[in-house]
Chains A and B, each alone.
Chain A
Amino acid sequence: MNIKLKRKVENYIFLGLSFLSAGFGLFFLFWILGDLLLNGFKYINIDLFTKDPVPPGMEGGGLKHAFIGHIIITVLGTVIGTPIGILAGIYFAEYGRNSKIAKIGRNVVDVMVSNPSIVIGAVVYAILVKPVGHFMGFAGGVALALLMIPVIVITTDEMMKLVPQQTREAAYALGAQPWQVSFHIVLKAAKVGVLTGVILGVARISGETAPLLFTSFNNNFTTFDPTKPMASLTVTVFQYAMGPYDDWHRQAWAASFILTFGVLLASITARYIIQRKKY
């Protein structure tokens, strides 16, 4: 009797703790999103998107330079990173299945997904910024591409592996070459999944700050020229939130709000697509 009661109590205590843990996670999620909504939303206005910043201490101005810079750097990263990521992903899924080296390479890619992003920034500074002689938006794009590639490789690989083996065999039976099978059959079948990987990659890189600090640097003006230093939302939020001016803080909240909800929207979309694919 006593033991039974003890087991029951223990059961409830630990399940209760499990409930609390889930509550803990959700609590912080809603707290952070709530603060962003509360503090960020009200400072969004037209000027934020259409004006360059004014000197510190002056009221007004906007973050046009950062929005445009951020889009350009992210697009550069995506354009450089996507093809390399998809090609490597196809290799791991279709050609490297049974090779030992490919397996190690695949594990390394998995490791690179979680690699400290600031290290990438330091490396790109050494191999691109210093030799060329100045900070530039393009270097930021390269740094982001290097962060994005592993993400795309992994999802491409996984999504292509989901394509049933029979599909491949059917194609071979019809006399297709391996490249035709990979490209026309498997990749086509896994198209949506691969696209999801790209979205996930974009979501990942568009929230990055650390690799941009030493590469694309910052700029007080709007520029479309990727060979020049370029502002980005994240670096600007860093600068503004660390600064003392109330006006800066307001703009940092507004920018964070837009950034966070944009990134979350992208990753929810990607997850939704993957879920539908899997089941």
Chain B
Amino acid sequence: MKVKKLALAGILTVTGVAFAVDITGAGSTFVYPIISAWSYSYEKATGNKVNYQSIGSGGGIRQIENRTVDFGASDAPLTPKDLSEKKLLQFPVVIGGVVPTYNLPDIGNTQLNFDGKALCDIYMGKIKKWNDPYLQQLNPGVQLPDRDITVVRRSDGSGTTWIWTNYLSKVCPDWEKQVGYGTSVDWPTGVGGKGNEGVANYVKRFRGAIGYVEYIYAKQNNLPAGKVKNKEGNFVAPSMESFQSAAANAKWDKKQHFYYVLTDQPGKNSYPVTGAVFVLFAKDKPESSKKSVQFFDWVFKNGDQEAARLSYVPLPQNVKDMIREYWKENGLM
């Protein structure tokens, strides 16, 4: 059997059937479901292959910084200063939301209410039981079980973590003081899953677990997604509409390389833990960046429906146009 395998591989390499993958990207696991759906259709439509690996936003930033990939993707925007230091370009591609998800067989997929303090205290390890009075008071109609809470968070550098901790820092002074925000932080408690995939997997496996994932990961895996109280005091369920409402306030500016943070936005129906995914290009590798631009240009033209199907919010037309101008200004189009 081995010999056959060897022979087969030998023939394949010798004849040099090289179907080169055109571009490689890496980073955000938040955006992985939609980018891989896009690249699947892109290959069908154009024959070009986009190999996107979800290794976490921290990894995406690192790999594009080292120029080991053609583009990086991160849910944590880099500041204009960082970008110029690292000779990178940045623009948003799609908007989504980070949701608290949990595994409580006792109440099934009942949608629980959370607020900033509840999430903060759970992730600080202060609320240890599901039937904690504070949680119970947020969810008057629900019989919360007497179960230990297993906190699940990310073990890798993550933009989802960035959005989540950025939100917690905004709504919870203790968190801001003791932990802060970033692609990875010094967690007070919790089990670490690798990627959105890993967190969803752990939440699915542990009874009593709570984790935070991009909305689609909860949806595709039949996990409940909690409502979160927003600035105006409403408990808002995650959905395309509530993400869109949060994004409506965004002031994208190409001079700032579109640096903008979407957490805790005003608006009655705004979901507070919303974030955009940013793509990073290397300024000094125009050839590879141009190929990536072709892909994202195709995505902006043809990818909206697919995004909506997976509950991501596509960018409005005027922002897309601004991004195209940005590409042109940097000689990529």
Using a CB–CB cutoff of 8 Å, the interface residues on chain A facing chain B are: 54-58, 68, 71-72, 74-75, 78, 129-130, 133-135, 199, 202, 217-226, 228-229, 239, 242-245, 262, 265-266
Contacts and interface: CB of A to CB of B under 8 A. Distances in A.
Interface string B2-28: 100110111011001111110010000
B198 A242 contact: yes
B51 A243 contact: no
Contacts of A78: 6
Given A56-B33, A57-B33, A242-B201, A224 B2 contact: no
B24 A71 contact: no
Contacts of A243: 195, 197-198, 200-201
Given A54-B40, A243-B201, A244-B221, 9 more contacts: A56-B220, A71-B5, A71-B9, A129-B68, A130-B66, A133-B66, A219-B24, A221-B19, A244-B200
A126 to B, nearest CB: 11
A262 B40 CA distance: 31
Contacts of B20: 223, 225, 228
A270 B35 CA distance: 44
A221 B36 contact: no
Shortest 4 CB-CB contacts between residues of A and residues of B: A244-B200, A243-B197, A57-B220, A55-B37
Contacts of B67: 133-134
Contact of A266 (B2, B36, B40, B221): B2
Contact of A57 (B39, B201, B216): B216
Classify the interface of chain A: helix, strand, loop or mixed: loop
B17 A224 contact: yes
Nearest to B201: A244
Given A57-B33, A57-B216, A220 B201 contact: no
Nearest to B68: A134
Contacts of B49: 221
Given A202-B2, A243-B201, A217 B12 contact: no
B33 A224 contact: no
A262 B3 CA distance: 12
B132 to A, nearest CB: 27
16 contacts: A71-B5, A134-B24, A135-B69, A221-B19, A221-B49, A223-B19, A224-B16, A225-B21, A226-B13, A229-B53, A243-B198, A243-B201, A244-B201, A244-B220, A244-B221, A245-B221
B45 interface: no
A267 B231 CA distance: 63
B33 A262 contact: no
A72 B53 CA distance: 20
Contacts of A245: 197, 220-221
B232 interface: no
B33 A222 contact: no
A222 B310 CA distance: 25
B21 A221 contact: yes
Contact of A75 (B13, B17, B40): B13
